[in-house]
C-alpha cells in the first residue's frame, strides 16, 4: 500500500541531501556484544531505525560505548562512558569520575544515574551537568566538520539497571529511560539529522490509560474474627476519628465509617448489604472504559514469599467459583479478567494451575497476570512465560507511585522471549495506606497528576490499580479516584484493557522498518510487519531541519509512506 504525501513541500531547506546509508536513514551502534540485548530493547522503546555499526556503511548518527582507536565519522557521534577513552585526547577533554548513584541536570530536568558517572572537562558546550558540582557531565564539540557529544555515563548500562533492578522510590516519579531517549532525540534534532520514529502513543490520541483492579477481597462477610475484620473496625472508628481531627479526612467519612462498623453484625447475619461487594459502583464509574480485574485463584492459600512461606494474611478468603456470575457480568461489560497470582511468580506448574482455575470460571483463556503483593524475582519473566501468559503487570511499587522501570512503555523483561511487562504506575494503597506513603487524598492527587503529565509528555500507558475494596468503608477512596478519572477523561484518551494495551505495544514491536530514504525534505518510509488488524493505528513522526519541523502520519498496514517537511 502506498500513502500519499500529507504535507506539501513549499520550500527546500538548504543543505538537504539524500540519505547516505545504503538502506536509508539509520543509527549505527557500537556496543559490546554482551549489551546487544539491552541495545535491542532500548530501540524498541525509542522506535527508530538502527543497526550494529558496519564499517562499510555511512551513518548520520553513531552511538558508541566502547573504546575506539579513532573517532567514528558521522554527522553526529555520541560517545558514552565514565572511563577515560582514547577519543578524549582527540577531543582535548578530560574525565573525572564522580561515582554513582548521582544526578545530572538536562535543561532543568533531573536524570538519575545508577552505574557510574564522570565529569567531562572540555572547552565544548555543556549538554548535561552534574547536579552536585555544576560541572559538565556531557559536552558538545565540533570536530572536523562533525558534531561529537561526549557523555560521562554508559547509556546501555543505565537502561539495563532500570529494566532489571528498577529505580528506588525517591526517583519514582522520574521517567528516566524516557529522559535518556529525549536527550538523544534532542541531540539528533539539533545536529540537523533527519530521522523517523514511532512514538509510544497511538495515532489520534494524547494518552493511553489502563484501569485495573486487584480483587483481594470480595465482601467482608467472609472475614469473621480475623485480622481483616479487626483492622477494619480499628480503621473505621479510631483511625478515622484521628484523621478527621487532624484535618486529613472530612467528617462525613467518619460518619459513613461508623455507620458501617455498627451495621457489621447485620451484614454477617445477611440482614444488611455487604458493603465490600461493590461491583456496581465500579461498573457505573467506569462505564465503557474497559477495565481489567485480577482475581485470586483460590481461597486460604498464602503461597510462598521470596524468603520462604508468605504470611497467612496474604491468603484471600473468597472462592472465584462462588462469584462466577459477577465474573461473567464483567466480561459482558467489556472488561478483562486476569490472574492475581499466588505462586505463579516462581513455580510454572502452580502458575498453570492458577491460570486454569481462572479460565474455568471465566470460560476464556487468561492472557495476563499481576502477582499478589507484587512478588517477583529475576526468574519470574521466564517462569510466567512458560505458563503461556502474554503479559505481566507486576512491575511497580508498594510504597511509591511512578516509573519503577523508568518508563511507562510496555517492555520485554530480561529473561523473556515473548512475555511483555505492562508497568504499574499508580496504586491506591501505595499512596494512601498508613505504613506506606500514608498521604491524605489532597496530597495524593498532585502526585498522580505529576505521573499523568509525564505519561502525556513521553508516552506509554498510564496503568492505575484501584483495589475493588477501596470505594467502600473504611477506605472510601472513591473521591480521589473520581478526580483522577476526570483528569484522564479530560484528555483524548484511549482506554484499553491490560490485554489490549499490551497487544497494541506488541504490534508496535512487531513493526519493522524497511528502507527509509530522504531526498530534499521528502522522506519515504517503508513499514513492514503490520497486518492492520489491531487498532488503534500507529503513528509515524519524521523529524528534521530544526526543533519545530516534524511531520506525522497514521500507520494502519504495511507499505510505503511519503511525507514532506516544510522548510518554513
Quote the CA–CA distance of 490 and 496 in Å, as a whole number. Answer: 16
pLDDT score recorded for residue 57:
86
Q: CATH: 3.40.50.880, 3.30.1330.40, 3.40.50.1820, 3.40.50.280. Which one for 2-204+518-564?
A: 3.40.50.880
pLDDT in tens, 538-566: 999 888 765 556 788 888 888 888 887 65
List pLDDT tens digits, range 519-528. 777 888 888 8
Q: Where are the domains of the chain?
A: 2-204+518-564, 207-218+276-504, 220-275
Mean pLDDT of 79-91: 85
| Residue 545 pLDDT | 60
Q: What is the CA radius of gyration of the chain?
A: 26
Look at 1-5, 351-355, 363-367, 426-430 and tell me which has the smallest mean pLDDT. 1-5
Please name which of 424, 293, 429 lies closest in space to residue 362, comparing C-alpha atoms: 293
Give the model's pLDDT for residue 530.
81
Q: Report which of 398, 405, 409, 358 is spatially closest to residue 375, judged by C-alpha positions.
A: 398
- Taking residues 146-162, report their average pLDDT: 95
Q: What would the pLDDT profile of 369-413 be if each residue is shown by its tens digit?
A: 999 999 999 999 999 999 999 999 999 999 999 999 999 999 999
DSSP letter, residue 170? G
What are the pLDDT digits (tens) for 465-477? 999 999 999 999 9
Q: Give 382's strand partners.
A: none
Return the closest-CA partner of residue 371 out of 354, 357, 386.
Answer: 354
Q: Is the peptide bond before 536 cis (omega within 30 degrees of 0)?
A: yes
In whole angstroms, give the CA distance from residue 395 to residue 422.
7
Report percent pLDDT > 70 for the chain: 94
Residue range 6-30, pLDDT digits in tens: 222 222 233 333 344 444 578 999 9
CA 84 to each of CA 99, 130, 157, 279: distance values in angstroms, whole numbers, following the listed order: 14, 17, 16, 60
Q: What does pTM read for this prediction?
A: 0.92
Burial class (CB in 10 A: 0-12, 13-18, 19+), 359: middle
Structure confidence at residue 1 (pLDDT): 26
**Per-residue pLDDT at 239:** 93
Give residue 24's pLDDT: 55
DSSP secondary structure string for all residues of 94-153: EEEE--SSEEEEETTEEEEE-S--EEEE-SSEEEEEETTT--EEEEEEEETTEEEEEESS
- The per-residue DSSP string of 392-450 comes to E---S-SS--S-TTS-SS-B--TT-SS-EE----EEHHHHHSTTTT---HHHHHHHHHH
- Closest by CA to 240, choosing from 483, 477, 484, is 477
Confidence check: pLDDT of 5 > 50: no
Would you state the pLDDT for residue 546? 56
Mean pLDDT: which of 17-31, 68-82, 450-464, 520-534 is highest?
450-464
Query: Do 39 and 31 meet the contact criterion of CB atoms below 8 Å apart?
Result: yes
What is the pLDDT of the chain when averaged over all its residues? 90
The maximal CA–CA distance of the chain, rounded, in angstroms, is 85
pLDDT for 270-301, tens place per residue? 999 999 998 889 999 999 899 999 999 999 99
Distance from C-alpha of 463 to C-alpha of 501, rounded to nearest angstrom: 10
Please say whether the structural domain 207-218+276-504 has been given the CATH code 3.20.20.370: yes
User: What is d(CA 398, CA 437) in angstroms, rounded to the nearest whole number?
Assistant: 9
Q: Output the pLDDT for position 532.
A: 65
Q: At what angle do helices 324-332 and 348-362 cross, to 10 degrees?
A: 80
Predicted confidence (pLDDT) at residue 211 exceeds the cutoff of 90: yes
Strand pairing category for 512-519 and 550-555:
unpaired
CA–CA separation, 175 and 405 (whole Å): 8
Encode pLDDT of 485-497 as tens digits: 999 999 999 999 9
Cα distance between residue 50 and residue 544, in whole Å: 17
pLDDT confidence of residue 523? 84
- The CA-to-CA distance between both ends of the chain, in Å, stands at 30
The half-sphere exposure of 523 on its side-chain side, counting CA atoms within 13 A, is: 30
Amino acid at each position: 500500500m502506498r500513502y500519499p504525501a500529507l504535507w506539501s513541500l513549499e520550500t527546500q531547506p538548504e543543505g538537504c541531501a539524500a540519505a547516505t546509508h545504503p538502506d536509508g536513514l539509520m543509527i549505527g551502534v557500537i556496543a559490546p556484544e554482551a549489551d546487544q540485548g539491552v541495545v535491542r530493547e532500548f530501540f524498541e522503546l525509542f522506535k527508530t531505525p538502527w543497526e550494529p555499526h558496519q564499517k562499510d556503511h555511512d551513518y548520520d548518527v553513531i552511538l558508541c560505548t566502547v573504546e575506539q582507536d579513532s573517532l567514528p565519522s558521522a554527522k553526529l557521534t555520541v560517545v558514552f562512558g565514565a572511563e577515560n577513552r582514547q577519543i578524549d585526547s582527540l577531543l582535548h577533554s578530560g574525565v573525572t569520575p564522580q561515582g554513582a548513584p548521582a544526578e545530572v541536570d538536562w535543561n532543568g530536568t533531573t536524570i538519575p544515574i545508577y552505574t557510574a558517572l564522570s565529569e567531562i572537562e572540555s572547552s565544548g558546550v555543556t549538554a548535561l551537568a552534574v547536579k552536585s558540582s555544576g560541572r559538565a557531565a556531557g559536552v558538545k564539540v565540533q570536530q572536523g566538520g562533525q558534531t561529537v557529544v561526549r557523555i560521562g555515563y554508559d547509556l546501555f548500562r543505565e537502561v539495563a539497571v532500570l529494566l532489571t533492578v528498577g529505580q528506588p522510590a525517591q526517583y519514582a516519579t522520574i521517567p528516566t529511560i524516557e529522559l535518556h531517549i529525549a536527550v538523544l532525540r534532542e541531540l539528533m534534532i539539533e545536529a540537523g539529522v533527519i530521522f523517523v520514529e514511532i512514538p509510544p502513543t497511538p495515532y489520534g490520541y494524547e494518552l493511553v490509560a489502563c484501569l485495573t483492579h486487584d480483587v483481594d477481597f470480595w465482601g467482608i462477610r467472609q472475614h469473621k474474627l480475623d485480622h481483616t475484620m479487626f483492622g477494619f473496625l480499628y480503621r473505621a472508628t479510631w483511625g478515622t476519628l484521628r484523621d478527621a481531627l487532624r484535618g486529613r479526612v472530612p467528617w462525613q467519612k467518619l460518619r459513613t465509617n461508623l455507620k458501617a462498623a455498627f451495621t457489621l453484625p447485620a451484614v454477617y447475619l445477611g440482614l444488611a448489604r455487604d458493603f465490600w461487594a461493590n461491583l456496581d459502583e465500579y461498573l457505573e464509574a467506569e462505564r465503557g472504559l474497559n477495565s481489567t480485574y485480577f482475581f485470586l485463584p483460590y481461597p486460604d492459600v498464602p503461597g510462598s514469599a521470596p524468603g520462604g512461606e508468605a504470611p497467612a494474611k496474604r491468603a484471600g478468603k473468597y472462592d472465584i467459583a462462588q462469584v462466577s456470575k459477577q465474573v461473567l457480568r464483567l466480561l459482558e461489560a467489556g472488561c478483562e479478567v486476569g490472574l492475581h497470582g499466588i505462586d505463579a511468580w516462581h513455580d510454572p506448574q502452580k502458575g498453570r494451575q492458577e491460570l486454569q482455575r481462572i479460565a474455568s470460571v471465566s470460560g476464556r483463556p487468561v492472557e495476563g497476570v499481576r502477582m499478589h503483593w507484587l512478588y517477583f524475582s529475576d526468574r519470574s519473566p521466564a517462569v510466567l512465560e512458560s505458563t503461556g501468559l502474554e503479559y505481566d503487570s507486576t512491575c511497580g511499587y508498594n510504597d511509591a507511585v511512578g516509573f519503577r522501570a523508568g518508563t511507562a512503555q510496555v517492555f520485554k523483561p530480561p529473561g523473556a522471549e515473548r512475555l511483555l511487562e505492562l508497568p504499574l504506575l499508580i496504586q491506591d494503597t501505595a499512596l494512601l495506606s498508613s505504613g506506606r506513603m500514608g498521604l491524605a487524598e489532597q496530597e495524593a492527587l498532585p502526585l498522580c497528576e505529576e505521573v499523568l503529565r509525564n505519561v502525556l509528555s513521553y508516552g506509554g500507558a498510564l496503568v492505575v490499580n484501584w483495589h475493588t475494596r477501596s470505594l467502600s468503608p473504611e477506605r472510601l477512596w472513591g473521591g480521589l479516584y473520581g478526580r483522577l478519572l476526570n483528569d484522564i477523561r479530560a484528555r483524548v484518551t484511549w482506554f484499553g484493557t491490560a490485554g489490549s494495551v499490551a497487544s497494541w505495544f506488541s504490534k508496535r514491536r512487531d513493526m519493522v522498518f524497511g528502507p527509509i530514504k530522504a531526498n530534499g525534505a521528502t522522506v519515504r518510509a517503508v513499514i513492514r510487519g503490520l497486518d492492520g488488524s489491531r487498532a488503534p493505528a500507529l503513528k509515524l513522526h519524521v523529524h528534521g531541519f530544526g526543533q519545530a519541523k516534524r511531520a506525522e502520519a497514521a500507520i494502519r498496514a504495511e507499505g510505503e509512506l511519503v511525507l514532506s517537511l516544510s522548510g518554513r
